Amino acid sequence: MTWPALDLADAYAVQQDNITRRLATGATVIGHKVGLISAPMQQFLGVHEPDFGHLLDDMVHRDGGTVSAARYCAPRVEPEICFRLARPLCGPGVTTADVLAATEAVAPALEIVHSRVRDLQITLVDTFADNAGSAGLLCGSWTPVEHATDLAAGTVDLLIDGNKVATGGGKEVLGHPATAVARSANALAAYGAALDAEHVILPGAMTTAPLIGAGRNAEARFGALGSVSVSFV
Q: Which CATH superfamily is domain 8-232 in?
A: Fumarylacetoacetase-like, C-terminal domain (3.90.850.10)
pLDDT given at position 120: 66
Q: How confident is the model at residue 99 (pLDDT cuts 50, 70, 90)?
A: very high
Q: How many CB atoms lie within 10 A of CB 25?
A: 7
CB neighbour list of residue 27: distance below 8 Å, 6 or more residues apart: 56, 57, 58
Q: How confident is the model at residue 43 (pLDDT cuts 50, 70, 90)?
A: confident
What is the per-residue pLDDT across 173-217, written as a single tens digit (0 to 9) for each? 999 999 999 999 998 898 888 999 999 999 999 999 999 999 999
Q: How confident is the model at residue 163 (pLDDT cuts 50, 70, 90)?
A: very high
Burial 139-164 (b: 16+ CB within 10 A, else e): bbebbebeebeebbebbbbbbbeeee
How far, in Å, CA of 169 to CA of 207, rounded?
8
Mean pLDDT, the chain, integer: 93
For 112, the 3-state DSSP assignment is strand
State mean pLDDT over 123-142. Answer: 92
Residue 2 has pLDDT above 60, yes or no: no
The percent helix, strand, coil of the chain (3-state, each to 5) is 30, 30, 35
Going by DSSP bridges, is the β-strand pair 76-85/200-202 parallel, antiparallel, or unpaired? antiparallel
Contact in structure between 199 and 209 (CB atoms under 8 Å)? no
Rounded (10°) CA dihedral 121, 127, 133, 139: 130
What is the per-residue pLDDT across 48-94, written as a single tens digit (0 to 9) for each? 778 899 999 999 999 999 999 999 999 999 999 999 999 999 999 99
